[in-house]
Amino acid sequence: MNKAWGHFKTVTRHRHLVMYHCFRVGLYGRGLLHDLSKYSPTEFRVGVKYYQGTRSPNVAEREDVGYSAAWMHHKGRNRHHFEYWTDLLPGTNTYSAVPMPTRFLVEMVMDRMAACKVYKGKDYTDGSALEYLLQARDSKLIHPETMEKLVFLLTMLRDRGEDETFRFIRQVVLKETPFSRWA
């Protein structure tokens, strides 16, 4: 029962942080709906079984069985994960990444910040989310435009902090101002 309670607290703390961040930039609906699938039996049971409190249980499940059923369930239902945004290209029948809509890109930024805050604790810095992203930057599953925007926003977070980044997201990003004007 301790692992169930620990996992519930971790998921709920993460959700509340994302909600708080989303509310600060005006994404109320995305904040309220964020990661509700983590409470589903498919994801929650795995979370409890592999709960450690210092990293995602999906990583431990993947190490144990070779894949993460909970992650596949999660990424297929949560549009703030770039892995959701793949589709068959017309004429080639090969899967390829497509650009993420802005509101989901912003929710992804909030999600990455919150995950780093939860798992890194007192060691969290405004550069943590960018550092984590750059470890896996070569992913073919993320559209280059989405990656460019994500790196831009996480670099801004690292260099200018939360308040300035959130102001920029509210005043520029969510108003769909093209990124080429930002540089």
Predicted confidence band of residue 179 (pLDDT cuts 50, 70, 90):
low
Q: Please state, in angstroms and rounded to a whole number, the distance separating the CA atoms of residues 43 and 160.
A: 35
For the chain, percent of residues with pLDDT exceeding 70: 96
At residue 1, does pLDDT exceed 80? Answer: no
pLDDT given at position 183? 55
Three-class secondary structure of residue 88 per DSSP: strand
Token pair belonging to 120? 């890194």
User: Which of 182 and 117 is assigned the larger pLDDT?
Assistant: 117
What average pLDDT score do residues 88-117 get? 94
pLDDT given at position 139? 76
Token pair belonging to 103? 């509101």
Tell me the pLDDT tens digit for each residue of 40-53: 999 999 999 999 98
Predicted confidence band of residue 150 (pLDDT cuts 50, 70, 90):
very high
What average pLDDT score do residues 3-32 get? 97
For 21-80, the DSSP string reads: HHHHHT-HHHHHHTTGGGGSHHHHHHHHHT--SSS-HHHHHHHHHSS-HHHHHHHTT-TT
User: How much is the mean pLDDT over the chain?
Assistant: 94
Three-class secondary structure of residue 171 per DSSP: helix
Bridge partners, 97 (sequence order):
86
Bridge partners, 95 (sequence order):
88
pLDDT given at position 90? 87
The residue behind tokens 């101002």 is 177
CB 59, CB 18: distance < 8 Å: no
pLDDT given at position 91? 86
Q: How far is CA 169 from CA 103, 106, 123, 156, in A?
A: 10, 8, 25, 10
Which sign, positive or negative, has the C-alpha torsion 155, 161, 101, 56? positive
Q: Please state, in angstroms and rounded to a whole number, the distance separating the CA atoms of residues 160 and 114.
A: 17
| pTM metric for this prediction | 0.93
Tell me the pLDDT tens digit for each residue of 48-69: 999 998 889 999 999 999 999 9
